[in-house]
Structure 1
Amino acid sequence: MARRRRPKRSNKEARRRAIYLLPNLFTTASLFSGFFAMIEAIDGNFLVASAAIFASLIFDGLDGRVARATNTTSRFGVEYDSLADLVAFGAAPAVMFYVWALRPLGRLGFLAAFLFAACGALRLARFNVQSDSAKPSKHFVGLPIPAAASMLAGTVMMWTQTSLVEPIPAWVAVAMVFVLSFLMVSNIPYLSFKSLGLARLRSFNGLVACLLLFVLVALQPYVMGFALLALYVVGGPLGARLLERGKAEKEQAEQLEHKPDHS
């Protein structure tokens, strides 16, 4: 009896099922950094925990770039990266912020930390669905979970490394967590740094601005880092408001242009 030949898989399908080592190593490093951040936060080493979250951010950026540069993107890598992001940017900052500032609030603090992790999971799930069905865009829908996690880590770093010796007020901490959680699941557009084209920047004034920004960050890394993160978080709602106003003015101008003249 002749054996049935299995249909050959296309190269595209085989690539989607493949597991590539190099980009997934960076994803594993991001996952490890997030897990390490949780352990250090439980031990009370909040500065080390914050630094580990920022290390996860670096590894998370590298895995995608390496995969695209080496043409080794796969569905496995996308799913693995999403799961690693949930640990590094959802669970790790939630645990760290709970131990650092939210624990005195009791049940409210626990629920606030859980809300951050849950909204981060929803944000990642929505991003995966939209990236599969929509065309690439210059904006993210909602605050990216790495930015929200970096905001919490930057707050811990700034507060512990400046003259702010007193613990952060509990109401400030819980309000920050609630706001970041809402922004992650909102429809507010946030600028994607991929659309800035910094690698192709040819303007001399742009180079001078980047150099000045580098000097300011090097002068006060904790304060300036926190300020830049806060500017990005706040810039989303403000930018969305400006975009809506610009669209309204454009539509009004088009209506006036097409309005018949009865004179």
Structure 2
Amino acid sequence: MSLKRHVPNFITILNLLCGAIATIFAVQGNLIMSALFVALGIFFDFFDGLAARALNVKSEIGLQLDSLADMITSGLVPGIVMYQLLVRALPGTVKPVSNWTDSGSWWEWDFPTLALVGLLIAAASGYRLAKFNIDDRQTDSFIGLPTPANALLILSLPLIMAFQPTPWAVELILNEWFLIGLTLVSCYMLNAEIPLFALKFSDWSFKVNKLRYFFLGFCLLMLILLQFIAIPLIIISYVILSIIFPGKKGDLEPSES
């Protein structure tokens, strides 16, 4: 049995491990390290599909494994991060976690209940990934916002607060109604019947991939000029460009990467 058929799955497992580490950091409230490992996981998520196409190896287990890894890295982690942002934004002081061995403490919680709204992102991501696995329409284009793009959108918020803490940006991000609204929009966009082009290359020709090359150049320019604030603008631009230039079906292996 050739070892090359296992290369894409190994890369996918690296994505899954990055998501598991990011989850630990997110639960601890270290949203910067969580964002770093999500970004690393998405990097692996992109290259597992690229490796599968380059090595011409396709498998059903690879498709399922890819979605399971995405559920952690690009579904669960953004949900926890949104929960943590809502905990910070909602009025009131969060108490220290009670000792679970204390009498009666197992049914108590010391966080704003409304913050759990953020976990809707994890639920919507799971639903999207389940639909994706049985949807034969999504080959070299997507229907609805891919989970990695949505994860980058959510994870950009703590990065903006940490590295570009302009007063208007911090005030907006720590507004509980903005966060709840963004959560609901995120859940809708993940499962919306909106065709979006994918950054998948069947070949490297400019004629076939001119929209992809233009978008990648636009992303690079925006990141240089605006840094982390560019990420939400890039995601919005991605949706707008996709609506103007809807993706066409092709013969590539389905993958959320």
TMscore range, shorter length: 0.7 to 0.9
Retained in 1: the 8 A contact 2:120–2:187?
yes
1:13-35 per-position Cα deviation (integer Å, ceiling 9, x unaligned): x99xx994211111111111111
Matched residue, 1:217: 223
Retained in 1: the 8 A contact 2:8–2:62?
yes
Find the aligned partners of 1:68 and 1:191 in 2 and give their Cα distance: 18
The normalised TM-score by structure 2 is 0.73
Find the aligned partners of 1:214 and 1:198 in 2 and give their Cα distance: 21
The normalised TM-score by structure 1 is 0.71
Q: State the Cα distance separating 1:94 from its structure 2 match.
A: 0.7
Q: CA distance change for structure 1 residues 211 and 130 in 2, over 3 Å: closer, same or farther?
A: closer
1:50-86 per-position Cα deviation (integer Å, ceiling 9, x unaligned): 1211111111010111011112211111111111111
State the AA in 2 paired with 1:148: N
State the AA in 2 paired with 1:191: F
- CA RMSD for the aligned pairs? 3.2
Matched residue, 1:50: 35
Indicate whether 1:178 and 2:184 are aligned.
yes
| Structure 1, 76-85 or 154-163: larger mean CA deviation | 154-163
Matched residue, 2:96: none
Matched residue, 2:141: 139
Retained in 1: the 8 A contact 2:4–2:55?
no
Q: Aligned with 2:196: secondary structure?
A: strand
Q: CA distance change for structure 1 residues 160 and 127 in 2, over 3 Å: closer, same or farther?
A: same
State the AA in 2 paired with 1:94: G
- Structure 1 residue aligned with 2:195, among 179, 189, 197? 189
1:149-204 per-position Cα deviation (integer Å, ceiling 9, x unaligned): 11101222123211235562111111111101011112122222237x7832269x
| Structure 1, 212-221 or 67-76: larger mean CA deviation | 212-221
State the AA in 2 paired with 1:90: G
Find the aligned partners of 2:89 and 2:230 in 1 and give their Cα distance: 29
Q: Aligned with 2:57: secondary structure?
A: coil
State the AA in 2 paired with 1:182: Y
Indicate whether 1:66 and 2:51 are aligned.
yes
Indicate whether 1:37 and 2:37 are aligned.
no
State the identity %.
26
1:103-153 per-position Cα deviation (integer Å, ceiling 9, x unaligned): 65422220x22311111111111111113xx473x5311111111111101
Retained in 2: the 8 A contact 1:47–1:156?
yes
Find the aligned partners of 1:135 and 1:174 in 2 and give their Cα distance: 29
Q: Which has the higher helix share?
A: 1
Indicate whether 1:116 and 2:121 are aligned.
yes
Larger Rg: 1
Retained in 2: the 8 A contact 1:56–1:88?
yes
Find the aligned partners of 2:50 and 2:144 in 1 and give their Cα distance: 22
State the AA in 2 paired with 1:40: F
State the AA in 1 paired with 2:154: L
Indicate whether 1:89 and 2:74 are aligned.
yes
**Greater RCO (CA < 8 Å, at least 6 residues apart):** 2
Indicate whether 1:100 and 2:85 are aligned.
yes
Find the aligned partners of 2:152 and 2:216 in 1 and give their Cα distance: 21
